[in-house]
Amino acid sequence: MRAKVFAVLGLAAMIVAATPVLADDTEMIGKIVFHGEVRLRGEFVDNFEDWNSDSLADDSFDFFPYRARVGVGGEFANNVHGYVELQSANAMGNELEQRNVLFSNDSDIDLYLATIVAKQIGGSSTDLTFGRQELRFDHEFLLGDLDFYNGISLDGVRATWNFESGPLDAFWFRTNETFEDDADTDFLGAHYTWDDVIDNGDIGVYGYYLRMDTVSGTGREDLFTLGGRIGRVREGESGMVWNAELAYQVGTLGNVGVAGDDADVSALGFEGWFGYNWNTGDSDHTLQGKVYYGSGDDDDTDDEANGFNTLFQDFHDSTNRLGVADVVAGSNVMAISLGYNFEHGAHSVLVEVFDFATAEAGQDSHLNVAPTQVGFSAFGLPGTFDGVAITSGDPDGAGPLDANTEDSIGQELDVVYNFDYTDNLSFGAGLGYFMPGQAIEDGTDPDGAGPLAGFDDAAMRLYGQARLRW
């Protein structure tokens, strides 16, 4: 008991002595620093399971996800830094009626970050980062941290060369370890950014390689991604704002289709927006249109694989990439939107409307739509499934169709409000109102009961959250 008391007192003394900083601004030079985050969110979703408000099954539900993180790091030798961060993420409430007073009811403590950083090796501009780390580039179209949910971290090593024109990063990460020969998943790549090459903007180019193997060979993948981005942002001044990013993917996908032959990958992803920012003193008003395209595969049994692989995309980032409701995944989709963003001091408001359509409408094309209660049970990442397939038969039962030409997934209205109460504490609320289109109504019921004719009622997601970071 005495040892436990001294340990608690020692930890308290360390926390009191530490200098609180935001995670993105952490400088671990000759001192120990602590970082923490507590995020609490309440969510209500309605009609996401069957798209029918008159159904006997009640698919309205609410839950309260949380994320709590605590990290410690410092400089332990000249230009050698270390950092460790633990997190717990789940939903408030227990399987039991009350929390056990002697033991924790939760067992979801996760080692989220664990890094060793060697800076300016040999007096050069080269940094090396080893261990579990986040990987974010550009607007997180392919590599992001999914900060709205429970984060994405990868295990491996990254080298950074800090040139005057901008950083060059090269990395290798092992995203899955099977302890079997040739059965692991490795992710390698390089990314270079030219800073300030254009007024208020930058340019990025990259090449990534994903090698995913299995013992059976089914699903084996060798995927090469080549892409680039150019964009301009403005804050505090009037002018045009725009962004364009294009990624092309080639490679092979193992043992697909009935014959089990390899398929050749040829996929395309694009994201762009164009608008204007009006600055009026302390306020910024931005009106812009956006386009998102991720190619789809119209036949998953042939020797071609055309579905765009979103890799480690942050689909719910600050750009509101695919909407608040998170109904539509980033493959086999064409999304067009128009939005207005207002910022004044600590306040910001976003209003945006989306139109979603399939990139490929065909007999075997699938829609990555419809989060369900099962998907939400992880309380971190709303699940999406492609069980709502475009029908291969006539919805009226008159006979088979060669393809369903309906490609409208639906429309969505989003309203988001954020308030920075202090530099550390923020509040936010969001509404996503999704209206299913004809492609969902004509889809095949996942349980095989028949077409979803008439299942076209709107679905809603509403959330409010508080977030404290130090």
Q: What would you measure as the largest C-alpha separation in the chain, in angstroms?
A: 80
Higher pLDDT, 392 or 277: 277
In whole angstroms, what is the distance from residue 431 CA to residue 437 CA? 19
Q: What is the pLDDT of residue 383?
A: 35
- Strand ranges inside 65-108, DSSP E: 65-77, 80-91
Q: What is the pLDDT of residue 408?
A: 83
Q: For the segment 6-29, what is each residue's pLDDT rounded down to a tens digit? A: 443 344 444 444 444 434 444 445
The C-alpha angle with vertex 337 and arms to 230 and 282, in degrees rounded to 5, equals 70
In whole angstroms, what is the distance from residue 23 CA to residue 58 CA? 41
Judged against a pLDDT cut of 80, whether residue 402 lies above it is answered with no
* Least confident interval from 26-30, 238-242, 400-404, 439-443: 400-404
Domains of the chain from N-terminus onward? 36-64+115-469 (2.40.160.100)
Q: What is the mean pLDDT of residues 459-463?
A: 93
pLDDT band at 298 (very low <50, low <70, confident <90, very high): confident
Strand-pair category, 166-176 with 154-163: antiparallel
In whole angstroms, what is the distance from residue 175 CA to residue 397 CA? 45
Q: What is the pLDDT of residue 394?
A: 36
In whole angstroms, what is the distance from residue 144 CA to residue 147 CA? 8
Q: Shortest CA distance to 143 belongs to which of 208, 72, 99?
A: 208
Q: For the segment 322-346, what is each residue's pLDDT rounded down to a tens digit? A: 999 988 888 889 999 999 999 999 9
Q: What is the pLDDT of residue 95?
A: 66
Judged against a pLDDT cut of 70, whether residue 302 lies above it is answered with yes
Q: For the segment 33-64, what is each residue's pLDDT rounded down to a tens digit? A: 899 999 999 999 888 766 777 665 666 888 89
